[in-house]
Chain A
Amino acid sequence: MSCGFISSVFYYLCKENILRILTFATLEKNSFYNMSTTVLKTGTEGSIWGGGEDVQPLKASYGKLMMWFFILSDALTFSGFLAAYGFSRFKFIDSWPIADEVFNHFPFLHGVDAPMYYVALMTFILIFSSVTMVLAVDAGHHMKKNKVVTYMALTILGGFIFLGSQAWEWKNFIKGEYGAIETKGRQILQLVDTDGHRVKVSEIAIASHSDRVQHEGKNGLWYESESKLPSYTVEEVIAGVEANPNVLVRTQILNEEGEKTVLSRAASIAKLKKDGALVVEGANLVRNEYGSPLFADFFFFITGFHGFHVFTGVMINIVIFFNVLLGTYEKRGHYEMVEKVGLYWHFVDLVWVFVFTFFYLV
């Protein structure tokens, strides 16, 4: 056994050496005949296109082509994410959250139901920064350095405003507004009044004394901890619902009109008592007060990945902005670099158009 192993190792070592000697010899021979290169000739030189000034099949520079290839592959990545979102949505087509109910905040309008407005504003910010970018590219074609500087600066500003808006959107989504009760089967039950308006869990829950405290590493087993406890227990919420005769439970199931099904008063209390397991406030990757946890997962992942693209776009734009200021492209004789980052920036806008449609509209 060991003898066989050693001999095979020996064989491979020898083979390796033989190969090395052969390669070396070939290189030696080659460099002897042709001192300028050590590349082996393959005998197929005539059939390979070697490039050249007179043959330009795509009529674009190398850099621009590579940017297009990158954009194509990135577009397929985003399509994969959005198609996966579509898959999950089709899977839970009769209980998917309604976007208008999830994203209905607008700055300084507290408690006002304002669906769409905020995301429309974000869309305009991004479209406008796309316009300033293309104006910068246009100014570059005419070698107008100062105009390029102004438009690039505006583009960067737009990018930062968009990122800030997205942060605010995330904050609202994570914080949640009404709270909900999760069942043992991990379905979400929300509270509404008899007119169909949402009711906050915190408004009706009757707080009682509880000895249950958050288990942190410093006050219990040092190697175990848990996330923040919900403000209320299910029992406190049930007590609150029983005390408020006009509160009903709304399930996630969509009826024929595309609205969430509201249970009768008796069925509401029975459902809460039978299945209620946990109070959920806001959304994270595990729990989501708006409905299916997958909705939150995809929201974080897709808008997060898009936001990451916006962030990198802003960083690249800043680098190019300083290059423009320093006169790099003035010296080079053309502003193609601005055009290339412009392509990337427009692509980010293009992705947002699709995210906007599939997360907020459809």
Chain B
Amino acid sequence: MAHDIAHHESNTKRIWNVFWLLSAVTIVEVVLGIFKPDVLNNVVLGMKILNWIFIILTLYKAYLITWAFMHMEGEAKGLRRSVVWTGVFLVCYLLFILLTEGDYVHEVFNKGYKAWDF
């Protein structure tokens, strides 16, 4: 644990900085979620700008929590990659498959011959 102690000399400042960052991002999300400015309702690349902002900010918060709070920034490269890359790759794959399929089922429901709201 020797290298850990050397590493963690004064981490409290960084912790509080990350806390303020996380809070600021959450406040921005909440304000946007309540007011939903009309400009941001335009669709870009198949999704509303507002939703793009929410998802990007969420990923940013996830990055902050993992890197600063879970101390991923101080771990060995091998550990970091084996956790982050595995997770990110599998989640992207899962989302691609399930969302594509969900969209397809929606099409079938609306354009198919079978009535489902009878």
Contacts and interface: CB of A to CB of B under 8 A. Distances in A.
A59 B1 CA distance: 10
Contact of B55 (A88, A90, A184, A357): A357
Contact of A79 (B16, B91, B101): B91
Interface stretch (A1-9, A120-128, A163-171, A229-237): A120-128
B106 A75 contact: no
Interface SS of chain B: helix
Nearest to B12: A138
A65 B79 contact: yes
The A interface, classified by DSSP as helix, strand, loop or mixed, is helix
A79 B91 CA distance: 6
A141 B5 contact: yes
Given A65-B79, A138-B15, A353-B62, A84 B4 contact: no
B40 interface: no
B108 to A, nearest CB: 9
Interface string A237-266: 000000000000000000000100000000
A120 B106 contact: no
Contact of A91 (B15, B69, B102): B102
Interface residues of B, number: 54
A59 B54 CA distance: 35
A347 B70 contact: yes
Interface stretch (A40-48, A129-137, A190-198, A309-317): A129-137
A76 interface: yes
A182 to B, nearest CB: 12
Interface residues of A, number: 63
Interface string B92-118: 001100110111011001100000111
A185 interface: yes
B99 A116 contact: no
Contacts of B82: 58
A92 B105 CA distance: 9
Contacts of B8: 138, 141-142
Contacts of A347: 70
Contacts of B11: 138, 141
5 contacts: A72-B87, A90-B99, A127-B19, A346-B69, A362-B54
Given A83-B98, A138-B12, A141-B4, 10 more contacts: A58-B78, A71-B83, A86-B99, A91-B109, A93-B103, A94-B110, A116-B34, A120-B26, A124-B26, A141-B8
